[in-house]
Amino acid sequence: MNAERQKVSASDIEPNRRRGGDLRLTLGPRTVGSTSGFGGFLRLRPGEVITEHYHPYSEEFLHVTAGDMEMSLDGEKVALRAGDSLMVPIGVRHRLVNTGTTEASAVFHLSPLAPRPELGHVDTEQPVDSAQPHIPVGEAPGNN
C-alpha cells in the first residue's frame, strides 16, 4: 500500500455548489478507491443551504466543526452547533442551513455505497446550481 495515495487535501478538490455551499468530496471511490463509503467537507456562508435530498442506500454522518446550523429531517428541525454530530438514516429527506452569522463548516461521511453511483442521491428540491454535475462519487479511476 502507498499511504501517500490515500491522502487527499480539500484544497486539491474543486468545490461542488450544485446543492449549495462549498462541498468537497475528498475520500471516495474516485479519489482513493474506497469501497464502503465516501466523505468530505462542507462550508456554508450565513443563510446558505444544502438543498433537500435523500440517500436510498446510505446513512449520512455529519460532524459540525464551526458555526451554527439547522438540519431538517423529514421536515423536523434539529439545531446543530460546533461539536455536535448527527446521523441521517437511510431514506430520510434532509436539508441543511447555516442559521448563524458566521461561516459554518462540517465533516460528512456516507456509507454504505449505493449499488451504482447514480442511485445514491435523490434531489427533492431544485438544486441551487443545476448547471453543475452531481458530485462524482463513482467507481475508482480506470474501473468505469
Domain ranges of the chain: 39-108
Residues belonging to the chain? 144
Grid cell locating 139: 467507481
Report pTM. Answer: 0.87
Fold classification of 39-108 is: Jelly Rolls (2.60.120)
pLDDT in tens, 81-109: 999 999 999 999 999 999 999 999 999 99
110 falls in which pLDDT band (50, 70, 90)?
very high
70 φ, ψ to 5°?
-135, 125
CB of 64 within 8 A of CB of 85?
yes
